[in-house]
Amino acid sequence: MGRNKGRAKAKRQRREKALDAQNHLSSVMSDVSMPMIARRNAAKHLVRTSRRNRLPLPITQRHWICRGCTAILIPGVSARVRIRDGQRITTCLDCGRIRRLGGGPKYHRRSSDD
């Protein structure tokens, strides 16, 4: 087996292992029967694994991990969620980071004097 084939195989194996780890960590994170400390650690390790292996976060978990402190965002517990003008505003209660989703660009949003 040539050198490049071995490298490609190793790269593929690393990627598959990272994807398996992502799936396991996201299932731990979304399992409400798990202790909160385990869910927090799963969120931190999920972000760390994704960054280290250059993989995107799973779509199901992407919106519920704080980009500032990598904490799990649970509405009412560790996050405040408000909806204003069709836009979901999520505030992390640990670090205070605000994330706005939806509503389009600022010039599409309703002005505050309406």
Q: What is the pLDDT of residue 59?
A: 87
> 49-88 pLDDT, tens per residue?
999 999 999 888 889 999 999 999 999 999 999 998 888 9
Q: What is the pLDDT of residues 2-28, one digit of tens each?
A: 667 778 899 999 999 999 999 999 999
What stretches of 22-84 adopt beta strand conformation (E)? 79-84
Question: Structure tokens of 28?
Answer: 């731990």
- Give the C-alpha separation, 60 to 74, whole Å: 14
